[in-house]
Chains A and B, each alone.
Chain A
């Protein structure tokens, strides 16, 4: 990747991260407040709490994996034409 491609990729990654935040927020809203009236118990807690708390943790982890493996790309952190200092 040249300098320009790197920075375009970085902008893309930042936008994807912001979008990932939006997904977590929407899931958190739907699973927690959305299920608040349901009288079901899962693993000794109300369904909304299980889905909104434990579920949000799982969703966030899945999103972190997808971002890291699918969206984010490897690149050199050194400027073009410079040797790595290690």
Chain B
């Protein structure tokens, strides 16, 4: 397409994000309570709708729009069936951690997940390790998101990779820096709406291009009937289904970027509303986008080689070949929104890990006090530097981007799953167990991923999560239980 029409809708959307974050920043200046709480957790004032949308938008990334639906084109209904396990993630994380994190977070004035972990296990070593894991894995994920978004932008608009990357990459870094967590949450809300709009537009285009649903169903049946089977002619073994329940279902409750949202909402009514709205939105986006991926088979019947040799080209190809340039320009806001809403949340969380979890903790130990002005300059300075660094890495993209993304995803789950679950619900869980679990889980995941080793031919998350559990229990048996003050803080019902 390569004309201004393709560029304009995205550019306008990005400008809107920027204006919103500036507005949010000005509003925030009116609230008392200290810069750090306002900037990194939005002053704990999120309502139910925004809480739901920001949790979904953070979770749904560019691969929900490109890689996943591309696989659905390739594999068929089995891939959609597997993707649907994600419908549980919102009510799980909010239902299990939502209230306890919120109450304890208020008591100890926590603005990060690591704040809570530090208080629960009373270990600076554990807290620092956790902060490191967060910064490294979040950065890798951000790069992968940038690369995915920019590649899609290039494929759809015809503009160079770098132009797309510069356009949305720099703006997302800028608006995250200016707006802080509250800016991220509100822009996320618009991003989630843009994702739904993009999905709806594309589904209309794809159904028309395939000659209607009945026609598409016939085309699929005659060209690739394995697409109609759950095991898809051996491409979808049962073990894959099982491990995906762990990787993109159950274990996602431990992702720090999701859990931190439990510290940000206003009251329990908001939490309850968010569980319903969030589940509805993730169900619509997950079902819709993967179904669209299957429907593209209605007019894209060639082998993957005819679409550039990678399934990542399926959705961009479908957008370009089924839609009027103006509509294509509007539709592409969806995947770009999915990209920037994930990046913004990871960026503010990574920045909080460095500033709050590491720097301010050291300052506190040395009894140093800083003015809000200094804290603001440091927090915003660090956010922009971290963002630009990630942007710079994405300019020369590494080849295995989707792998890195999944590497980070499972790594974070292996690190935090038992620490958070046991930390909040098992009074006997102690520091030694937590340290063993974090190191054992992450090491197992990274080593088996790098070596390509699959225990019982199952995805690496299976072994990693079991090793993290075993390490926790062994370490816990060696270590000592925590003092009564900690027990009373986290488990007052036991006294």
Query: Is B279's CB under 8 angstroms from A60's CB?
Result: yes
Interface size on B, residues (CB 8 A): 52
| A-B interface contact total, Cβ < 8 Å | 135
Query: Is B91's CB under 8 angstroms from A67's CB?
Result: yes
Of chain B, the residue at the smallest CB distance from A58 is B283
Query: Is B214's CB under 8 angstroms from A28's CB?
Result: no
Query: Is B95's CB under 8 angstroms from A20's CB?
Result: yes
Query: Is A32's CB under 8 angstroms from B81's CB?
Result: yes
CB distance from A85 to the nearest CB of B (A): 6
CB distance from B20 to the nearest CB of A (A): 22
CB distance from B418 to the nearest CB of A (A): 15
Q: Which residues of A contact B95 (CB under 8 A)?
A: 13-14, 16-17, 20, 67, 72
Query: Is B283's CB under 8 angstroms from A57's CB?
Result: yes
Instruction: Give Cα A33 to B81, complex, Å.
Output: 10
User: Helix, strand, loop or mixed for chain A's interface?
Assistant: helix
Instruction: Give Cα A8 to B228, complex, Å.
Output: 47
User: Helix, strand, loop or mixed for chain B's interface?
Assistant: helix
Query: Is B84's CB under 8 angstroms from A65's CB?
Result: no
Q: Which residues of A contact B213 (CB under 8 A)?
A: 43-44
Instruction: Give Cα A57 to B287, complex, Å.
Output: 8
Q: Which residues of B contact A72 (CB under 8 A)?
A: 95, 268, 271-272, 275
Of chain B, the residue at the smallest CB distance from A8 is B493
Query: Is A4's CB under 8 angstroms from B493's CB?
Result: yes
Kindly supply a per-residue 1/0 record for chain B positions 59-93, scoring 1 wherever the CB is within 8 Å of any chain A CB and 0 otherwise: 00000000000000000010011001101101110
Q: Which residues of B contact A60 (CB under 8 A)?
A: 87-88, 91, 279, 283
Q: Which residues of B contact A3 (CB under 8 A)?
A: 492
Query: Is A74's CB under 8 angstroms from B88's CB?
Result: no
Query: Is B84's CB under 8 angstroms from A64's CB?
Result: no
Instruction: Give Cα A18 to B212, complex, Å.
Output: 41
Does A30 count as interface, using CB distance less than 8 angstroms?
no
22 A-B contacts (beta carbon < 8 Å): A13-B95, A14-B96, A14-B425, A17-B95, A21-B88, A25-B245, A43-B213, A46-B228, A48-B230, A53-B81, A57-B283, A61-B280, A64-B91, A64-B276, A64-B278, A68-B275, A69-B272, A72-B271, A73-B268, A74-B268, A74-B272, A86-B266
